Structure 1
Amino acid sequence: MLWAAKECGTADFGDARLTQRLVSFVAELTEHPQSSLPEALGQWSATKAAHRFFSNEKVTGKAIYDSHRGATLDNMQDQSMILAVQDTTIVTFTLHRKAEGLGPIGQTGLSGFFLHSCLAVSTKGVPQGILAHRLWTRSTEDKGKRELRRQRPLEDKESVRWIDVTKEVRTVVPDTTKVMMVGDRESDIFDLFLLAVNNHDFLVRAAWDRRLHDSDDHLWHVVENAPVLGQTTIKVPRRDERPEREAILTLQAATVTLRTPHHRKKENLAPPTVNALLVREQSPQDGEPPIEWMLLTTLPITTFEEALPCLTWYTYRWRIERYHYILKSGCQIEKLQLETKDRLMRALAVYSIVASRLLRLTYQARETPEAPCTEALRESEWQALYTATHKTTVLPEQPPNMQTAVLWIAKLGGFLGRKSDGNPGLKVLWRGFRRLHDLTTMWEILHPPNIYG
């Protein structure tokens, strides 16, 4: 409960009882991330309280997210640089299509809303929490207007979220911490590159083979004809039915000045200069499409040593895909049975804190394996975990480290821990957390705190 109070205990709804209820919900849902609300909360009275909470107009998603963002900023306060990783996902409600206020999502007969998240990630790859978000629905009136979008001003397009979130994050993160916005091809927006003159840093994957300023040349042609800086190997995480694999990559780089789009010539915009890094896979495994990334950044890239961090940090973009995966496949937010869009969005804000904690714990164990597990688990949790793992009530003087504790939790969820198994995945950790919750509850019953000591 202490960690939950830290994550969302400052949420201001104008009623302290609602804040206390939020903390309680978050703590319970984290222990049962895959369960429905009735299963996670255990009692019908608690489930009714949850529905009243999500129906209360005093409860706002903004207050929940703002509270969590405060905890995120605390997590990263000692870091000189943070990666602000952005991505968009579609939240679809196939089992509850009659919920009021949902909109079309581009697939015939399906409805839902869109979620754009900005995840803070350390330069070592450990997620710190959510820094910003956008939630919206599409109107049925927007359908069929795709051909007109090019002529619309940016502020009237959905893509403006990339610009707005980048600016918002820079204003909330202290000036002592450098912010590097990381995005996929959807973030290849000319206005984003214009932010570089205002000290906004970015690392994005290019989607367009843009023309260059004062030249008939194009982006790809210039960079692929630049000298090779070197080769390196990365691990590509497993996806769907494809196992994790290694990819050998060749790196090339060049500094380029992008031409202003023709339809914006009248604005007299200064053409932005960026550094481009072309990443190409050599000899991919049979059946695997080769990796080819054109990365555009404000960071200097003149040597192989300067190129490597850019490549590594872009691979951390996969962290936000895992975050959205936890929300939808782990927390199963698309199966929530709530009657309106507003209630669903409030519930999503609560589950975002749950997903953020599970994600952070997973990667913290990989990146800082020797840190004490008390950075993520409360005392009764690691003690119950140790007892269940070793079948003894004799506890060590010091708690185990993060890597060991997470491995034990994964084994509670069915992870075998063989050499060929690699690191435990998120699914077994979810199952392990569910068992750990039950074990901890029994441990606390049998070992109540000595309030008179």
Structure 2
Amino acid sequence: MISRIQAKVNAEPDLSRRQLSRQICEWLDWRKADGGWKEGSCRKALARLNRKKVLVLPERRRICTDQAGPAPQKVNVAEVTARLGELGEVRVSPVLSRHSPDSKIARALLQGYHPLGAGTSRGAQMRYLVRSSRFGLLGVLTFSSGAWALKKRDQHIGWSEAARGQNLQYVVSNDRFLILPTVHVENLASHVLALVMRRLADDWEQRYKIRPVLAETYVNPSQYKGTCYRAANWTPVGPSSGRRDGIRKEIFLYPLSPNWRAWLCAEPPPPRLGETKAMESPTSWAHAEFGRVRFYDNRLKERLYKIAEDFHGCPLGLIPEACGSKARAMGAYRFFENPKVSMNVLLASHTEAAIDRIRKHQIVLAPQDTTTLNYSTHPMTQGLGPTGTQRDQSIGLLLHDTLAITEEGTPLGVLDAQCWARDLKDKGKRIRRKRLPIEQKESQKWLRSFRKVAEIQKACPNTKLISIGDRESDIYELFQEATRDPNGPGLLVRMNRATRRKVGGILLWDLMSARPVDGTHPLHIPRTPKRPARDTVLDVRFASLDLKPPKRLKNCAPIPAWAVYVCEQSQHSPDENPIEWMLLTTVETSCFEHAKQRVRWYARRWGIEVFHRTLKSGCRIKDRQLGTAHGLQACLGVDMVVAWRVFHLMMLARETPDLPCTVYFTDEEWKALCCYTTESPLSPKQPPSLDSATRMVGAMGGHLGRKRDGPPGAQTLWRGLQRLDPAAKVYRILTTGPPLHASGP
């Protein structure tokens, strides 16, 4: 839409902003509650985009004001000293048009007698003149839309940011209240307030087709006590922050409906996964991944972008080192401890970006796994729980996440993350685990993750998602969940031998091992800290079966599934622990090619272990020093995206080595990388390939690049990225700043 607007402006330079706003409203079908175009809101948004240099608009031809011509020089007002009953009929009448005589009178009275003057009212507004049948004009009241954010008001209402954004239109603000200084009548002000509040909701609804349910106003306590508002049953809720003019004013509220709180606190329906639009032309990877975060304060968004870029530029550094200055480090600490910031909120935007990438593939694997985050070296952190045995007394958090991976192994993003601390009161829970329903067990994490994948499957109907779990996920309820919807994601689980599952009275392991081998399949086993990488050959057997429910679920029906049994051939096994997998899947496996594909799918589960290693060692998440578990989890949301990006670079360079490196690196980064590698001040005119750039980064991180070394791994890449970031900053300073001059005499 931004590019479309700019093209329209470039094609028609004489187009006024009013005409442009009307055109945009027609494009977007952007209407007010009464059916009219929201031209005012559109022009306001255009002006903001123009100030931020997102759009380049022509200068405004004229600046419109809300004045309806010159105000009258003088309005005759009477000197009144009487009792309320002696005024005759007191009426409050709305100003029907800004071009009417009443509009000029109201403005003249406010400008002449109100301490704040008439002000500039824009947007939705109502003005009232107060008249007496005997003495004429007595005063003026004005109302406009409610303030966007007031801490004490929002706490009194109890609404969330999402509810406030949707329902703020039902709050009106009493901006001006004037009783003429020539009028001296006891109880007149509270009487006028009562009169106007009786009709305000009807008048506002008649004009704007929106019925307000709450009114607010502000009283300067250094000048007034708000006696008339208290007498009219307005409720004081606390002071404002005084950011606009430095004066903390008392906030008063008045309900216009008996169910006002329920109306204002009604939550908007959450957007479905995959329906949030991506940011147009993001300026950095942080904007692309976090641009859809649901923060209603743009300052939080800007802070998030800076933190993400700082963490990615210095993955091994602690927060002060990564941020580079005391001010930015303190801002990061405040950001993570902000109650509006959470791991799920941060990852929601990244998941939306991952869904866009998922839609480009026919099959996407979604392995899920659990890892432990040990914070025993930070015992003062609040909210941690036990993570190990009673002997080691370790404390920390548990993380269960789901990662989207292509069949080739390229990670597409984090789909789900659950982080929690165990409760010390649950000690001994393992003994009674068989008597507890699954909703009260940690095993519920597997079902929650699968349900999240099922939601994403609905958003990606042309892609088949496969949820993959290790032996801990061999749970009957998980297979039940996977077979509820035939169009849902598939499930692939490695069977736990301890379950002693039987088919026809025979243990499944014995049954499958007795079957003839259906074929062999070569497989590359990546290295681990306990074993080197190797190429091996697996014997493959497969069969269909019915999974019978356990005794605790004896009333449930059997579930149709397929088993794929693989065993490493003895001549290819270098130790006494050969590979032996029993894979259970809900995806039809009717031929040997299907069985080999299921084996390849499960082998890709190792990708999530690489991701966890990158998260722990590359991002040093266990060394983050924050005061609460909430802050650690929020920080984890950023670190998980950074770890994914490092892992994504490693696999993307292997899968698509000939792509230009600009798919990952900015111009400053790849030019600085080339200058650093070649030790030349001149960068090449064309960017190198992604494979070449990745090898340069790997070399900066210690990758030797020998013939048998293979491409750089995650560890050398995160080390290289740490050295590339300062090089890119120096390159930017030297190429964008003023020319260098010689020093000395």
Instruction: State the shift of 1:61 in Å.
Output: 1.9
CA 1:97–1:107: 2 relative to 1, 3 Å: farther
Which residue identity is paired with 2:474?
D
| Paired position in structure 1 for 2:466 | 180
1:420 maps onto 2:708 in alignment:
yes
CA 1:4–1:449: 2 relative to 1, 3 Å: farther
| Paired position in structure 2 for 1:13 | 295
More displaced stretch, 282-291 vs 236-245: 282-291
Distance 1:288 1:381 in 2: 48
Instruction: Trace 1:204-353 onto structure 2 (pairs within 5 A).
Output: 204-208=493-497, 209-212=499-502, 215-265=504-554, 268-283=555-570, 284-287=572-575, 289-353=577-641
Distance 2:513 2:685 in 1: 58
Instruction: State the shift of 1:210 in Å.
Output: 4.2
| Paired position in structure 2 for 1:159 | 443
| Paired position in structure 1 for 2:344 | 62
SS at match of 1:314: helix
Which residue identity is paired with 1:110?
S
Question: 2:698, 2:716 within 8 Å by CA — same for their partners in 1?
Answer: yes
SS at match of 1:301: coil
Which residue identity is paired with 2:372?
I
1:118 maps onto 2:402 in alignment:
yes
SS at match of 1:198: coil
Instruction: State the shift of 1:151 in Å.
Output: 1.3
| Paired position in structure 1 for 2:654 | 366
1:387-445 per-residue CA deviation (whole Å, 9 max, x = no partner) reads: 22233344444322222211111001111100121232221111110111111112212
Distance 1:401 1:305 in 2: 35
1:72 maps onto 2:354 in alignment:
yes
Instruction: State the shift of 1:258 in Å.
Output: 1.5
SS at match of 1:419: coil
Question: 2:672, 2:683 within 8 Å by CA — same for their partners in 1?
Answer: no
Instruction: State the shift of 1:102 in Å.
Output: 0.7
Question: 2:671, 2:684 within 8 Å by CA — same for their partners in 1?
Answer: no
| Paired position in structure 2 for 1:94 | 376
| Paired position in structure 1 for 2:694 | 406
Distance 1:53 1:288 in 2: 51
Aligned match of 1:440 in 718, 724, 728? 728
Distance 1:254 1:99 in 2: 51
Which residue identity is paired with 1:186?
E
Distance 2:622 2:318 in 1: 11
1:191 maps onto 2:473 in alignment:
no
Distance 2:707 2:667 in 1: 30
Distance 1:288 1:130 in 2: 36
1:127 maps onto 2:127 in alignment:
no
Distance 2:290 2:635 in 1: 14
Instruction: State the shift of 1:293 in Å.
Output: 0.6
SS at match of 1:447: helix
Distance 1:419 1:118 in 2: 35
* 5+ long unaligned stretches in structure 2: 1-282, 739-745
SS at match of 2:658: coil
Question: 1:248, 1:281 within 8 Å by CA — same for their partners in 2?
Answer: yes
After TM superposition, the score normalised by the length of structure 1 is 0.95
1:257-296 per-residue CA deviation (whole Å, 9 max, x = no partner) reads: 112111211xx32201111111111124433521111111
Aligned match of 1:201 in 482, 490, 495? 490
SS at match of 2:736: coil
Which residue identity is paired with 2:639?
Y
| Paired position in structure 1 for 2:433 | 149
- RMSD of the alignment, in Å? 1.8
| Paired position in structure 2 for 1:52 | 334
Instruction: State the shift of 1:446 in Å.
Output: 2.3
Distance 2:337 2:586 in 1: 45
1:8-34 per-residue CA deviation (whole Å, 9 max, x = no partner) reads: 122223211011101110011011111
| Paired position in structure 2 for 1:375 | 663
Aligned match of 2:316 in 34, 37, 47? 34
Work out which structure has the larger RCO, using CA pairs closer than 8 Å and 6 or more positions apart in sequence. 1
Question: 1:90, 1:113 within 8 Å by CA — same for their partners in 2?
Answer: yes
Instruction: State the shift of 1:309 in Å.
Output: 1.5
CA 1:432–1:25: 2 relative to 1, 3 Å: same
Distance 1:4 1:345 in 2: 19
Distance 2:549 2:682 in 1: 69
Instruction: State the shift of 1:100 in Å.
Output: 0.8
Instruction: State the shift of 1:303 in Å.
Output: 2.9
SS at match of 1:420: coil
Question: 1:281, 1:292 within 8 Å by CA — same for their partners in 2?
Answer: yes
Question: 1:210, 1:259 within 8 Å by CA — same for their partners in 2?
Answer: no
SS at match of 2:483: helix
Question: 2:548, 2:557 within 8 Å by CA — same for their partners in 1?
Answer: no
Instruction: State the shift of 1:449 in Å.
Output: 9.7
Distance 1:192 1:445 in 2: 55
Distance 1:241 1:416 in 2: 23
Which residue identity is paired with 1:216?
G
Distance 1:286 1:62 in 2: 43
Q: Which one has the largest radius of gyration?
A: 2
After TM superposition, the score normalised by the length of structure 2 is 0.58
Distance 2:623 2:649 in 1: 25
